[in-house]
Chain A
């Protein structure tokens, strides 16, 4: 009656990665075997969605490339991470994303593009920004003109004081939808609307956030891989040109609000909190916070009026 259930012991699995022997616990993914593999839609606190395809690798005997983030290792698996097929596939993913979305705040994007020789500009100059993406119905998409690259460029949505949705940076990885939905927050304020190239993340009827079901936990920002979702403080500082991560310290402490004891990582630049995150491996939060923990810090830095 008093026992603590223990997980059954896990066997070890032997695989090779680019010819090198690697031994991992049963149930590990190829990504566990190949740290350093580029990922975008993968989230360490989320179930893999296999949306972006940038982490694909070649497995000997497999007809297609496999996503490293979700494919589990099997005994004797021979994994190849740097073949021409893999490089070509990753290059194409980066080119298609790079031509249609703004990857300027996506960590890793510039380095990967260089490594795989991605040239998004080969699809032509970027097309015009649109202001009606939210209103498009399935099938309303017009054929491309062939001279310019279709983009998701559009004005950023600044409809509240806490965070900004800049969907021209959105790669439709679905992580925000999963974090807002059944995997963590269970608020279901956002989902995917539209089809094909018009698909986009949206609130119900594209309502502004203050009119939506959003509770401003910011757990979508926590998982966003491209900076499409960001603190308004970060968005404003980037616009002013004062955002400088090299001058920021990150300190993990305990939230000042209720007694649950959430771990907050304060991102501090020039003695000002500019952003708050939470460690994804923390047993209390698993990277999630509520509106007070995520955004309720301003009271400590109301130091002078105006």
Chain B
């Protein structure tokens, strides 16, 4: 691991850069962060990344901001969280204050909307690719309950539009029950 100062700087520049490209909602920054911090820098592993997304989901506020805070905190404590969050917030802050006066011009611009439409496909591909990697590493454990949770959470989220926080709470509950049953079994053996 590099020195603390270097991590802080890298955290700031990474979240700034990633946040500049989070078109299409919070999960885009999660996907980009996974590429950057897990695959490229190896600062966190894939399971930790999923844990951090769960934490980001359970906290109020935007997922992109929460994700930056959690990753920053994990890597470098409170200072890390601070530099990551400033990095994540600055791009939208700068862009919005810059176009706040001329927003009607931007809103009706055909080239801008074409750019955005095209990027949607790219964003979808980035998320699809990261989801595939994450799902594959979950499946490797060959745990039936995990697969059931995956399918159940997808249906709850996508088909039945259940609140994300509720899904997290229910899955946490399943986790507690799973642990208790596991321990009882161990004791009986």
Tell whether A pairs with B. no
